[in-house]
Amino acid sequence: KKKTAIITGASSGLGLHTAKVLVKTGDWNVICAVRDKAKMEAMAQALEFPKGSYSIREVDLRSLTSVRKFCAGLTSPLGGAPGFDCVLGNAAVYYPMLKDPQKFRLGFHMAGAGALPVNRMGSEALVTEDGFEESVGVIHLSHFLMFNLLMDAVERHGRATKTKPRMIIVGSITHNPTELAGKIPPQANLGDCSGLFNGFKVEDGITMIDGGRFDGPKAYKDAKACNMLTIFEMHRRFSKAKNITFNTMYPGCIAETPLFRNHYPAFQKLFPAFQKYITGGYVSVEEAGERLASVCADPEYEKSGCYWSFKGGVRGANGAASEQNRNEKGIGGKFENRVSEEVADLELARLVWEGSALAVGLD
């Protein structure tokens, strides 16, 4: 019987290529959790996903109602998911140019390589349906709610199939100020999470988790730090009792995905070369998809509470991992990476958990 993976943001970039690797093994069914079903169908056809290997369900992470509806649909006895072997939180947005979430009108919403054009010119302010700043709302709060709502179904599935299912949220090296990508200001800093405890509503002037002044890149880094704090807290609270693997990972710098669609065009042009030839952190989206699919599926990633990263050796031609670092599947050597001081901080983990539960209305 095939296993089932649920992937948020499967309609582009890393999520799409992870889904592609899984469906092409023939062992996995992928539920593509996306905001645009037609785009997903077009992408699945373009990448030749085998018929019957995937289904598409709508979820807009800018709305907690949509997240709740999505989870209720997946776990319902009628028409729910056929299984819960892997839940992958991958979707994200990045607004490096955004100065104020409420004043955003004309943005640089360029399509990245391989993406369908996304035109948000003249769109409404980047505030979620629930009044949250969008980066933290989409990347962290919605996944926080979704993972909590799906966990019991994942546990039941594991017991019924005598397997250990996995729940994974994609992390980022940018959360860590001791790494180059995280060192460049602004750095992630969640402070005392007062923004969350005060309801995290843009209309109340709260746009950042630490309650500070809005900063687009920091909002992204903070949200990724929260993704990782959430996964490690879930590991500590539930992994043993529920027999679930909770992991995060950094795929490498996939410099050409639409994640950078809101950046200056010059940045979009130069960033891939910078990552390939200067930092060596570049990875192609295909290889990143292989990496993440392995974290979802392969026995060597069953251990819970890990932050997986990969030795790139990516200075070689076309940004491919150099031969000596590849394993038999062609993937650059994996290792358990170190997290930032903040992400290792147990008291902060408790604050993020409680503040997030409050903001999303979870008991």
Q: What is the nearest approach in angstroms of ligand NDP to the Cβ of residue 90?
A: 5
Minimum distance, C-beta of residue 77 to ligand NDP, in the bound complex (Å): 25
Residue whose CB is less far from ligand NDP, 9 or 312: 9
When the beta carbons of 35 and 263 are compared against ligand NDP, the nearer one is: 35
Task: Quote the CA–CA distance of 109 and 263 in Å, as a whole number.
Answer: 8
- CA 141-139-78 angle, to 5 degrees, is 70
* Cα–Cα distance measured from residue 299 to residue 154, given in angstroms and rounded to the nearest whole number: 18
3-state secondary structure of 151: helix
Q: Which residue lies nearest ligand NDP, judged by its C-beta?
A: 13
Q: Find the shortest distance in angstroms from Cβ 159 to ligand NDP.
A: 29
240 burial level (CB within 10 Å; 0-12, 13-18, 19+): exposed
Q: To which H or E segment does residue 32 belong?
A: strand 28-34
Nearest to 153 by CA among 240, 63, 77, 228: 77
> Considering beta carbons, is residue 56 or 242 the nearer one to ligand NDP?
56
Nearer to ligand NDP, 45 or 240 (CB): 45
- Which one, 139 or 158, has the nearer CB to ligand NDP? 139
Which amino acid type is present at position 211?
A: G
Closest contact distance (angstroms) between CB of 259 and ligand NDP is: 3
Using an 8 Å Cβ cutoff, are 252 and 283 in contact?
yes
Which positions lie near ligand NDP, rule CB under 6 A? 9, 11-15, 34-36, 39, 59-62, 90-93, 118, 138, 170, 172, 224, 250-251, 253-255, 257-259
| Structure token digits, residue 45 | 């056809």
Residue 255 or residue 320: which is nearer to ligand NDP going by CB? 255
C-alpha 216/C-alpha 259 separation (Å) is: 13
Least distance from ligand NDP to the Cβ atom of residue 205, Å: 23
Minimum CB–partner distance for residue 234 and ligand NDP (Å): 17
